[in-house]
């Protein structure tokens, strides 16, 4: 018998949760969190799991943290409490905190596969015979292979799903090797390659916006769209991640993963259904249609002072910034450039997708009317947790004559009653992995296509150009996008909720 195909679900408001639980009950889970003392675990995974447990979206869970650190369960519980207090995005009651605490155990890596087997068996005894296993590999790529081996040696492959963090390899050959290696132990249906950008409400809203409305899809192509920008500047620096970042850089950390995945949501054809196979198929077609990324279409940057940071080589060639022009050579998009940009220590932290429409003829307007002077009409998605969408257009300024200015229609989740229901990306994706729903996860094939298209750039990267921290990147970004211009910084601010 084949497993029933997972459905995408809408998450209800708190009042409707009880009803939903009956409809969609999940087996209890033992979650083994590798890298449990690391940065991602503290910032996102532990606070996210704590919220899932409190919200009752998640089934009964037991969490086994494991890492190189020699901690006791008590110490791990304290570390978790402080992570939830510092980084949790939802208020938690004392009672919920205490309940979450009880569900945590810690096993140091030095306890070996036997230690892990024993801890999982104890947790399963508490959860009952229905319990399933979810292994979350929040570890650097080099450690992922030894974790997979450990899981095999510990006999924890059966009845299990495994969530893997990016980057999945660092070029085509290593991605193929990694996928082959993991496939020796886990079946593809057990593997969940996480790209947390796809778990953002705003990213999923791109699909809703495009495919649930009749207004935009007919003009979503090269006849009406001039160019697209996916711009994700960050003000953050390295934090404690010099080791990871030095070996990775902005292209592998952000572009091959998050930016290109989001680009696929913008560019893909309508899938036959909002289910994993259909969506992956359409995303993979976008990746296969991408033109190879050439050095001439790329600006690599490094912020001033990067080489003096602890853990960074004095002659480091790692890019902390990247901007590039991507071509998608298919019937919908041929000739429409997609400009992607991201970097550390930039002027502002934003995550926008901006669709620029082709401009109208202007000759009928009197000289000095202002038509076209503030760029083309735009549709803009803000990928913040409280997502926003804006459509800008020219309108008449009130008063005599015909003076035009850029106006906008804006929507913000914050203005709705459901703002409190937004799930943080990791929360959503952990839940989906427990449900066995691959819809928002990436596939081996998709990742390999992206590395393949990246080969010319990886073989021959342009030299890194310096940019001062707090700016928008090296000057060459303007030549890259000419005759267009970067949308950021915005000329007009987003409107905030009134009253």
Point out the residues that are catalytic. Answer: 258
**Residues between 338 and 357 that touch ligand BG6 (CB under 6 A):** 351
Q: Count Cα atoms within 13 angstroms, Cβ side, for 322.
A: 28
**Residues between 241 and 300 that touch ligand BG6 (CB under 6 A):** 253
State how far Cα 359 lies from the chain centre: 32
Is residue 201 near ligand BG6 by the rule CB under 6 A? Answer: no
Query: Could you give the C-alpha distances from 22 to 18, 19, 112, 434, 448, in angstroms and in order?
Result: 7, 6, 39, 16, 40
Is residue 437 near ligand BG6 by the rule CB under 6 A? Answer: no
Minimum distance of ligand BG6 from residue 200's CB (angstroms) = 7
Question: Does the annotation flag 38 for ligand binding?
Answer: yes
Taking the least distance from each CB to ligand BG6, the nearer of 234 and 427 is 234
Is residue 311 near ligand BG6 by the rule CB under 6 A? Answer: no
Taking the least distance from each CB to ligand BG6, the nearer of 84 and 429 is 429
Question: Does the annotation flag 180 for ligand binding?
Answer: no
Is residue 427 near ligand BG6 by the rule CB under 6 A? Answer: no
Question: Does the annotation flag 246 for ligand binding?
Answer: no
Question: Does the annotation flag 196 for ligand binding?
Answer: yes
Q: Show the CA angle centred on residue 353, arms to residues 218 and 297, nearest 5°.
A: 100
Task: Take residue 127 and report the two structure tokens written for it.
Answer: 């959860």
Question: Does the annotation flag 443 for ligand binding?
Answer: no
Could you give phi then psi for residue 116, rounded to 5 degrees? -70, -45
Task: Tell me which of 16, 98, 236, 409 binds ligand BG6, using CB under 6 A.
Answer: 236
Q: Tokens 């703002």 correspond to what residue?
A: 419
Q: What share of the chain is helix, strand, coil (3-state, %, to 5)?
A: 40, 20, 40
The contact pattern for ligand BG6, residues 177-196, with x = CB under 6 A and - = no contact, is -------------------x
Query: Could you give the C-alpha distances from 181 to 144, 186, 284, 294, 442, in angstroms and in order?
Result: 10, 9, 22, 30, 17
Minimum distance of ligand BG6 from residue 496's CB (angstroms) = 21
Task: Take residue 153 and report the two structure tokens written for it.
Answer: 């040696």
Q: Tokens 């050095």 correspond to what residue?
A: 295
Taking the least distance from each CB to ligand BG6, the nearer of 282 and 385 is 385
Question: Does the annotation flag 368 for ligand binding?
Answer: no
Taking the least distance from each CB to ligand BG6, the nearer of 29 and 42 is 42
Task: Tell me which of 201, 226, 234, 382 binds ligand BG6, using CB under 6 A.
Answer: 234
User: How many positions of this chain bind ligand BG6 (CB under 6 A)?
Assistant: 5
Residue number with the smallest Cβ distance to ligand BG6 = 253
Q: Classify residue 100 as exposed, middle or buried by CB count within 10 Å of its CB (0-12, 13-18, 19+).
A: buried
Question: Does the annotation flag 253 for ligand binding?
Answer: yes
Taking the least distance from each CB to ligand BG6, the nearer of 196 and 227 is 196
Task: Take residue 459 and report the two structure tokens written for it.
Answer: 């073989």
| Three-state secondary structure call for residue 381 | strand
- Binding site for substrate: what residues are annotated? 196, 200, 234, 253, 344
* Interface with ligand BG6 (CB under 6 A): 196, 234, 236, 253, 351
């Amino acid at each position: 018998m084949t497993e029933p195909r997972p459905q995408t679900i809408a998450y209800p408001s708190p009042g409707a949760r009880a009803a939903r639980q009956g409809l969609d009950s999940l087996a209890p889970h033992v979650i083994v969190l590798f890298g449990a003392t690391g940065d991602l675990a503290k910032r996102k995974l532990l606070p996210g799991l704590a919220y899932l447990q409190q919200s009752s979206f998640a089934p009964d869970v037991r969490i086994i943290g494991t890492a190189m650190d020699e901690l006791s369960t008590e110490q791990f519980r304290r570390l978790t409490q402080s992570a939830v207090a510092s980084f949790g995005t939802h208020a938690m009651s004392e009672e919920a905190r205490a309940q979450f605490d009880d569900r945590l155990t810690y096993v140091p890596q030095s306890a070996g596969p036997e230690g892990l087997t024993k801890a999982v068996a104890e947790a399963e005894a508490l959860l009952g015979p229905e319990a399933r296993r979810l292994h979350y590999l929040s570890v650097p790529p080099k450690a992922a292979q030894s974790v997979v081996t450990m899981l095999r040696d510990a006999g924890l492959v059966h009845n299990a799903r495994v969530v893997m963090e990016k980057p999945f390899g660092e070029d085509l050959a290593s991605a193929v090797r990694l996928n082959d290696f993991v496939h020796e132990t886990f079946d593809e249906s057990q593997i969940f390659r996480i790209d947390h950008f796809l778990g953002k409400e705003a990213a999923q809203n791109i699909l809703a916006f495009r495919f649930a409305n009749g207004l935009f899809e007919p003009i979503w192509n090269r006849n009406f769209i001039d160019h697209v920008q996916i711009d994700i500047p960050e003000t953050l620096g390295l934090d404690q991640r010099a080791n990871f970042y030095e070996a990775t850089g902005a292209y592998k950390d952000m572009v091959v993963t998050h930016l290109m995945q989001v680009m696929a949501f913008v560019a893909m054809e309508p899938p036959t259904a909002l289910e994993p196979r259909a969506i992956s198929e359409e995303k993979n077609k976008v990746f296969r249609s991408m033109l190879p990324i050439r050095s001439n279409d790329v600006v690599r940057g490094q912020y001033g002072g990067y080489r003096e940071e602890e853990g960074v080589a004095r002659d480091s060639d790692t890019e902390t910034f990247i901007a590039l022009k991507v071509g998608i050579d298919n019937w919908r998009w041929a000739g429409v450039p997609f400009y992607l940009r991201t970097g550390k220590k930039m002027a502002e932290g934003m995550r926008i997708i901006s669709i620029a429409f082709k401009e109208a003829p202007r000759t009928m307007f009197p000289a000095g009317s202002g038509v076209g002077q503030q760029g083309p009409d735009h549709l803009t998605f803000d990928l913040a947790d409280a997502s926003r969408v804006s459509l800008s257009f020219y309108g008449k300024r009130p008063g005599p004559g015909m003076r035009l200015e850029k106006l906008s229609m804006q929507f913000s989740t914050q203005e709705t009653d459901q703002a409190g229901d937004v799930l943080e990306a990791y929360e959503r994706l952990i839940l989906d992995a427990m449900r066995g729903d691959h819809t928002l996860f990436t596939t081996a094939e998709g990742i390999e296509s992206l590395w393949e298209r990246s080969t010319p750039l990886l073989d021959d990267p342009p030299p890194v150009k310096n940019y001062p921290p707090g700016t928008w990147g090296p000057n060459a970004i303007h030549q890259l996008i000419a005759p267009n211009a970067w949308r950021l910084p915005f000329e007009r601010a987003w409107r905030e909720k009134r009253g």
